[in-house]
Structure 1
Amino acid sequence: MTRAVLKAQKQNLLPDYLRRKASEVISMVFNEYDYETDIQVKTEEAERRGHAAGLSEGTRNARIETARKLMQKNVSVQIIEECTGLSEEEILKVK
């Protein structure tokens, strides 16, 4: 297996990936593949990505709601920009 990875590197196959992950590739081949573990790991990674995306969207929605409330109180767009991190264009859409 090590020879195969070295040969791939010499032939410039996946150069960046093999430079970073050669030992991991060799290790994966020698270890027995376990479908259940693979599915579990992929599920956990997907959940983490989904959770992070949800937090980002939730944060954005909260900033928009804050901008809406500040607009109702006649706070200037410039101050709302500073407080929420939203652009002037995004704030004006809230009106």
Structure 2
Amino acid sequence: MTEQDDQDGPGGPQRPPRVVQRRVRRTPNFLRFIITGAIIGFIVGALIASGGPDAQGYSDRTGVVLIGGIVAAFGALAGAVIGLLLERFLNRR
């Protein structure tokens, strides 16, 4: 056995590793944007409802849940739009 055979290993001569360049497409996680927008929207809606005047026939909790839910829906929509805009911005090339 020669010295060259010992360096090549049992499978024969080793080739250098191939370098493959691929473009990585960066996309935001839309579900996280939507959930974050909904949570922030609910908090803002709850603060608005708790700070406003009381409506007749509704308890404080009902007002917080109703207004918080409505603003949470708009927050989720805003989070989705922000995610879409961010995706467009990141993948411009």
Task: Please give the TM-score of this superposition, normalised by the length of structure 1.
Answer: 0.31
When Rg is computed on C-alpha atoms for both structures, the one with the higher figure is 2
Where relative contact order (Cα < 8 A, 6+ residues apart) is larger, the structure is 2
Q: TM-score, normalised by structure 2?
A: 0.32
